[in-house]
Homo-oligomer: A and B are copies of this chain.
């Protein structure tokens, strides 16, 4: 299967969770908006095509299927890319963990946009400072302790006992958080040895390492979800 991935061309964003799965599996895919421009993608949001309407990127074309919602795309890709264990109960657990990652990603986004996605960061900076403080003190520790416990309960290496798309997504989550909140993550990370080790292992997987070193991996930047604004991190 040759896949077509649709996601904004200038950021890693939510598309990166799908991209990492495709790259780690060595699956052939076109990154449509990066190759042909965002406008080609936006036509699908406007509904010029037949079939299901996506609300937002990322979405994936896989043969006749058009699939939206990051976790849902990974749920679909898991079996053909060998990125999820075979049983129904494991697929459900993978999806449960992926959706919990997605919840945290949404909270990270809102830490720099607590009032409105349609406003600039600068128009909601003081609210962002308050929300980011709660994220660093309450939410990040709660979510990351949870994932650390999940790893502990599954033997320490993989949340699903075997490599899966959840490992890749936890790598991306930790990478983004360390980019956005380097000081807070240094503090919180001391309690997360299993998550930090998982992140290192994923980074060393041959296809992931090759991808990260390639121009296909966009750098984190301040248009994406994980943004580094020093005033939103722990005080120096």
Each complex incorporates copies of this chain amounting to 2
| A127: interface (CB < 8 Å) | yes
Dominant SS among interface residues on chain A: helix
Identify which of B52, B55, B95, B127 contacts A75 (C-beta below 8 A).
Answer: B95
Complex CA gap A114/B131 in Å reads 8
| A134: interface (CB < 8 Å) | yes
Q: A114–B93 contact, CB under 8 A?
A: no
Q: B153–A47 contact, CB under 8 A?
A: yes
Instruction: Tell me, rounded to whole Å, the shortest Cβ–Cβ distance linking A225 to chain B.
Output: 14
Chain A residues 75-114 with CB under 8 Å of chain B are: 75-76, 89, 92-93, 95-96, 99-100, 103, 106, 110, 114
| A115: interface (CB < 8 Å) | yes
Q: A130–B116 contact, CB under 8 A?
A: yes
Could you tell me how many residues of chain A have their Cβ less than 8 Å away from some Cβ of chain B?
A: 39
Residues of A in contact with B (beta carbons under 8 Å apart): 47, 52-55, 64-65, 67-69, 71-72, 75-76, 89, 92-93, 95-96, 99-100, 103, 106, 110, 114-116, 118-119, 127, 130-131, 134, 138, 143, 146, 149-150, 153
